[in-house]
Amino acid sequence: MGKFTSERLSDIAGWLGIASIQGATMPSIIGSISGHSQTMPPLSMVALVWFGLVLFLYRGIVRADTVAIVSNAIGFVLNTILLALIVYPSY
């Protein structure tokens, strides 16, 4: 077994982030196929996207990848806002 380094951990975080973001679309796809329509995306989808962005942001920081840091930070902020709107809707 190889040495478990921060670079290795960042690779794992990146792959988990990819899996999380790709998996986040499944609730929407299943909902669409079954005929359910929603104004807002499902909480599970937004939460999985948010988690994936956190992992990608971590990976970008570890690798000092400015583009990844900026793009994932923006996505993280926007998805946090969306998550707040879903969890705390204004009536």
Torsion angle (degrees, nearest 10) of CA 87, 79, 54, 27: 70
Could you tell me the pTM of the whole model? Answer: 0.65
pLDDT, tens digit only, all 91 positions of the chain: 567 788 888 878 878 887 787 777 667 666 656 666 556 678 888 888 889 889 989 999 999 988 888 888 888 888 888 788 778 776 5
pLDDT at 28: 62
> Which two tokens mark 54?
């956190």
pLDDT at 10: 81
Domain boundaries of the chain, sorted by first residue: 6-87
pLDDT at 30: 66
Q: How many angstroms separate the CA atoms of 84 and 11, rounded?
A: 29
